[in-house]
Amino acid sequence: MAKVLNLDEVDLDGRTVLVRVDINSPMDPERNVFLDDTRIRLIIPTLNRLSKSKVVILAHQSRPGKKDFTSTLGHSRELGRLLGRNVKWVDDIYGKKALTAIESLENGELLMLNNVRMDEEENNAKGDFVALSETRMVQNLSLVADAFVNDAFACAHRNTPSIVGFTNALPCIAGELMNHELSKLGQALENPKRPCIAVLGGIKVDDSVIVADNMLRGDICDHIWVTGGVANLFLYLSGIDLGEVNITFLKNELKDNWDSTIATASKLLVDFPECIIMPSDVALNLEGSRADYSLEQLPIEAPIFDLGITSIRALSKAIKSAGTIILNGPAGVFEMSDFALGTVEMLNACAESEGYAVMGGGHTATLVNQRGLIDKMGHVSTGGGASLELLAGRNLPGLASLEESARQFRFSISKPLDHQ
């Protein structure tokens, strides 16, 4: 997919390596206890590859103003427990304490800096790679490091100093998790086994419409199956009266993006009328209970919370017969048991399919994990917003940074690191 440097191509033994990771984890802020350590576990393969380097970890937890906005001290301790190795920590990011701690590292040692989002420039600095390279974080840390490894795929859509600022200052290399994500998503996007279908749902309707546009105009997918809020929008544009409650909900979700989303979706219906597959029935929430209705029976003033049974069966059949399935977003309000059927059956069909099933992250990935289906999927992305941006064909600053740095720093594993 991307022409980036990876850890197989470089010799970082004995070098000081900055490693940007995403270990932003759900926490109980009162007890300072991790509720899920998945993201911390996912960076271990990269750290193991750097076992003979001096490793400096850059990470964030939440963002200013939130209850779980904490230091990374707990993360360093949890990582050390999982690695079975000591992980040092310093209450600093790029000041004198941090630089002294970095320069005292021995080969094989790890040091985690404090939460990078405690730095004002990380949160507020704007501009291109050159502008972000002028931040104090990049200026100071690049003086004491030989290379930068980006293993934070879930932050690849962020244009911040800790993600893209080192582009021109240091050789920037994709970590194991980053490389894995790019490879697996690239398999679905660049040479998908046919037929290829995308199943787009959830309430991020504007993003999903852009994904659909990219998939169809780029000849990535043969058909787009729409569910959730995405289906409601296309049904509305097809002349189905969904009832005022559902139209109002869509307008409230889309806000200022209503006109542009309507324009893009309408053009898709004109240009690809046979390629967008909409539900033939829906499940309404009637005073807390599920009630299935065909489109011909609408409008009924009740919110649409799921696909109807007939549509669920049709979608499951299509998934099981597809060569590639690209899935993003739930089919309905799966948090309520009566309306989880569409989402659950959709995921079960992916697990049973012999095709290559890719999940876009976010709520979908969480449910896959909860149901113990992760080993039956082709790939479940850790990206959330980053994977959605990639599916939409948008530029990912973190990926563009790796590509630009690869063009500047040409070296192989047999050559010393050419860092000036």
123 and 37, same structural domain? yes
Among 1-5, 71-75, 94-98, 236-240, the range scoring the smallest mean pLDDT is 1-5
Angle at 402 between CA 390 and CA 86, to 5 degrees: 105
Cα 264 to Cα 40, 109, 234, 361: the distances in Å are 39, 52, 11, 24
Burial letters 160-186, b for 16+ CB under 10 A, else e: bbbbbbbbbbbbbbbbbbbbbbbebbe
Contact indicator for 388, 211 with CB cutoff of 8 Å: yes
pLDDT in tens, 107-162: 999 999 999 999 999 999 999 999 999 999 999 999 999 999 999 999 999 999 99
222 and 93, same structural domain? no
159 and 209, same structural domain? no
Sign of the CA dihedral 331, 332, 334, 340? negative
What is the predicted pLDDT for the residue at 168? Answer: 96
If one counts the domains in the chain, the total is 2
Residue 99 is which amino acid? L
Cis peptide before 195 (omega within 30 of 0): yes
Residue 413 in this model has a pLDDT that exceeds 60:
no
Structural domain range at position 11: 7-178+396-408
Q: How many CA atoms lie within 13 A of 77 on its CB side?
A: 7
- Greatest Cα pair distance in the chain: 72
150 and 11, same structural domain? yes
Does some domain include residue 184? no
**Percentage of the chain surpassing pLDDT 70?**
97
pLDDT in tens, 268-291: 999 999 999 999 999 999 999 999
Does some domain include residue 343? yes
200 and 130, same structural domain? no
Q: How confident is the model at residue 412 (pLDDT cuts 50, 70, 90)?
A: very low
346 and 199, same structural domain? yes
301 and 201, same structural domain? yes
Q: How confident is the model at residue 65 (pLDDT cuts 50, 70, 90)?
A: very high
pLDDT in tens, 303-355: 999 999 999 999 999 999 999 999 999 999 999 999 999 999 999 999 999 99
Residue 332's CATH number: 3.40.50.1260
Does some domain include residue 384? no
Cα 280 to Cα 179, 285, 331, 411: the distances in Å are 40, 17, 14, 56
Distance (Å, whole) CA 157 – CA 383:
9
Distance (Å, whole) CA 7 – CA 127:
28
The candidate with the shortest Cα–Cα distance to 282, out of 301, 316, 300, 305, is 305
Does some domain include residue 301? yes
263 and 349, same structural domain? yes
Q: What is this structure's pTM?
A: 0.90
Burial letters 215-236, b for 16+ CB under 10 A, else e: bbeeebbbbbbbbbbbbbbbbb
402 and 349, same structural domain? no
Among 85-94, 139-148, 293-302, 408-417, the range scoring the smallest mean pLDDT is 408-417
172 and 215, same structural domain? no
Does some domain include residue 376? no
Average pLDDT over residues 184-205: 94
199 and 84, same structural domain? no
347 and 217, same structural domain? yes
Sign of the CA dihedral 232, 233, 237, 241? positive
